[in-house]
């Protein structure tokens, strides 16, 4: 673990993936956190150059987005300013010893914990509380023509989603994404 | 798409990103470096802060950092609403001492780009308000300065009666514009 003035950075089992804990400064009015700090992130090895940020708002628990990546995968810094999610990252780097392995954890506004990954992961979220806001920064501009994905319920990935299938709502597009078997073959070729 | 509207002081930009709703909820591109660059602002943001404010009527500001630690800020609200204010402190500016203000809320999705050379502050219009702001320079306590939010010379049209606005002792002790030696 690495600690800076405003953050703790904890390298996870998948190389290039970090759990980030910002420190919270509380006073009578409320609190202040540094949600991102380029020099402290870079000093800890989280080296993305951020050029875009997206924010999703989801009124209902059970909504699912993912698992997504772009043909030139992006580094991503994910946090949950309101509500709670189950956050999933899958290693899609063919040369990685953990290719195909996933990292799952709850992120919430209450804990303030964040996830950061270098380019080379597919990403998905399952909303666990109504009114959840997710903000994520990326190191490239979004290009819809380069979107790819993997099926959330892929049997080989076997992600331990914390809700029953019947309680999970997914878009048609996400439901039609390829299985890991096909996606991983494509990733190997593209390499 | 992010709509960009230059304000009365043209370097201050009001940004309104499109929302893409679907059955699950809404997705918004809250920041695109290339959109700001096309509008003439090309400084990279290197830090982001989030503040949570419990009570309606709480004032935070008017703050700035003196050069070389001067900061531009991109401010948005993710919960509740604020009345957001930028005051031009550039001594050679024809709009020195003038104010741009905007209501920013979760619902209107607006953001305010406050360039270097401005003091910035807001008053919360709702309980449990959360504000996120990106910064172009890091926090530098020794460079922190302030301007008194209630200085009548600024003519800020606060949307709450002054008696309902509460500032902490530090923010209440900042100088008025006439007594401020602006470093810009």
Distance in Å, alpha carbon of B92 to nearest chain A alpha carbon? 32
DSSP state of A100: T
Q: Report the alpha-carbon distance of residue A152 to residue A171 in Å, rounded.
A: 11
> Quick one: closest CA in B to A77, which residue?
B48
Characterise B97 by phi-psi region: left (phi > 0), alpha (psi -120 to 50), beta (else).
left
Residue A16 clears pLDDT 90, i.e. is over it: yes
B53 token code pair: 């404010």
Q: Which residues of B touch A30 (CB under 8 A)?
A: 51-54, 58
DSSP H helices in A28-86: 38-43
pLDDT for the residue numbered B10? 95
Q: Report the alpha-carbon distance of residue A119 to residue A100 in Å, rounded.
A: 14
pLDDT for the residue numbered A191? 58
**Residue A87 burial class via C-beta count within 10 angstroms: exposed 0-12, middle 13-18, buried 19 and up:** buried
Q: Which residues 42-71 of A have a C-beta within 8 angstroms of B?
A: 49-60, 63-65
Say yes or no: B184 contacts chain A, CB-CB below 8 A.
Answer: no
CA dihedral (B157, B122, B151, B15) in degrees, to 10, reads -60
Residue A57 clears pLDDT 70, i.e. is over it: yes
CB B81 within 8 A of CB B131: no
Residue A190 clears pLDDT 80, i.e. is over it: no
Please name the residues in contact with B142: beta carbons below 8 A apart, sequence gap of 6 or more.
B69
Question: What is the per-residue DSSP string for B61-108?
Answer: EEEEE-TTS---EEEEEEESEEEEEEEE--TT-TTTT-EEEEEEETTT
Element of type H or E holding B184: none
Partner-chain contact B49 A56, CB within 8 Å: no
What pTM did the predictor assign?
0.90
Partner-chain contact A56 B34, CB within 8 Å: no
Element of type H or E holding B25: strand B25-32
Other CB atoms within 10 A of residue A126 CB: 28
Question: What is the per-residue DSSP string for A145-185?
Answer: GGEEE--TT-TTT----SS-GGG-EE-HHHHTPPPHHHHHH
Percent with pLDDT over 70 in chain A: 99
Confidence band (pLDDT; 50, 70, 90) for A71? Answer: confident
Nearest CB to B53; choose among A30, A54, A64: A30
Nearest to A21 by CA among A30, A34, A32: A34
* Mean pLDDT of the region A56-72: 93
Residue A174 clears pLDDT 70, i.e. is over it: yes
B75 token code pair: 């401010």
pLDDT for the residue numbered B178? 97
Q: Which residues of A touch B75 (CB under 8 A)?
A: none
Say yes or no: A29 contacts chain B, CB-CB below 8 A.
Answer: yes
Q: Report, as ranges of residue numbers, the positions in chain B whose pLDDT lies below 70.
A: none
Confidence band (pLDDT; 50, 70, 90) for A67? Answer: very high
Across all residues in chain A, what is the average pLDDT? Answer: 94
Distance in Å, alpha carbon of A117 to nearest chain B alpha carbon? 18
Confidence band (pLDDT; 50, 70, 90) for A47? Answer: very high
pLDDT for the residue numbered B24? 85
Strand partners, A121: A91
């Amino acid at each position: 673990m690495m600690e800076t003035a405003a953050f703790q950075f904890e390298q996870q089992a998948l190389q290039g993936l970090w759990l980030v804990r910002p420190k919270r400064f509380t006073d009578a009015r409320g609190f202040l956190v540094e949600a991102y700090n380029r020099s402290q992130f870079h000093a800890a090895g989280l080296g993305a150059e951020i050029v875009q940020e997206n924010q999703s708002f989801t009124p209902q628990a059970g909504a699912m987005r993912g698992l997504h990546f772009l043909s030139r995968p992006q580094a991503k810094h994910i946090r949950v300013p309101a509500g709670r999610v189950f956050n999933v990252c899958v290693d899609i780097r063919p040369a990685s010893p953990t290719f195909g392995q996933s990292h799952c954890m709850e992120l919430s506004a209450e804990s303030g914990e964040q996830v950061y990954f270098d380019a080379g992961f597919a990403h998905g979220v399952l909303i666990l509380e109504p009114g959840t806001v997710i903000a994520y920064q990326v190191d490239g501009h979004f290009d819809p023509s380069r979107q790819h994905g993997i099926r959330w319920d892929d049997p080989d990935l076997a992600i331990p989603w914390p809700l029953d299938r019947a309680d999970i709502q997914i878009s048609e597009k996400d439901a039609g994404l390829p299985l890991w078997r096909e996606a991983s073959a494509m990733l190997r070729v593209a390499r | 798409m992010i709509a960009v509207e230059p304000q009365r002081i043209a370097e201050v930009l009001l940004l309104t990103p499109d929302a893409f709703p679907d059955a699950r909820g809404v997705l918004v591109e809250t920041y695109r470096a290339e959109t700001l660059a096309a509008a003439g602002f090309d400084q990279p943001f290197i830090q982001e802060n989030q503040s949570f404010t419990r009570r309606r009527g709480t004032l935070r500001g008017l703050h700035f950092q003196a050069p070389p630690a001067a900061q531009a800020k991109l401010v948005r609200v993710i919960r509740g609403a604020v009345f957001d204010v930028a005051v031009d402190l550039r001594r050679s500016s024809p709009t020195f001492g003038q104010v741009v203000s905007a209501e920013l809320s979760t619902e209107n999705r607006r953001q305010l780009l406050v360039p270097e050379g401005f003091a910035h502050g807001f008053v919360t219009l709702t309980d449990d308000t959360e504000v996120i702001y990106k910064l172009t320079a890091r926090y530098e306590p020794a460079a922190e300065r302030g301007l008194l939010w209630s200085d009548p010379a600024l003519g800020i049209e606060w949307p709450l009666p002054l008696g309902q606005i509460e500032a902490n002792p530090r923010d209440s002790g900042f100088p008025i514009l006439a007594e401020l030696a602006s470093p810009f």
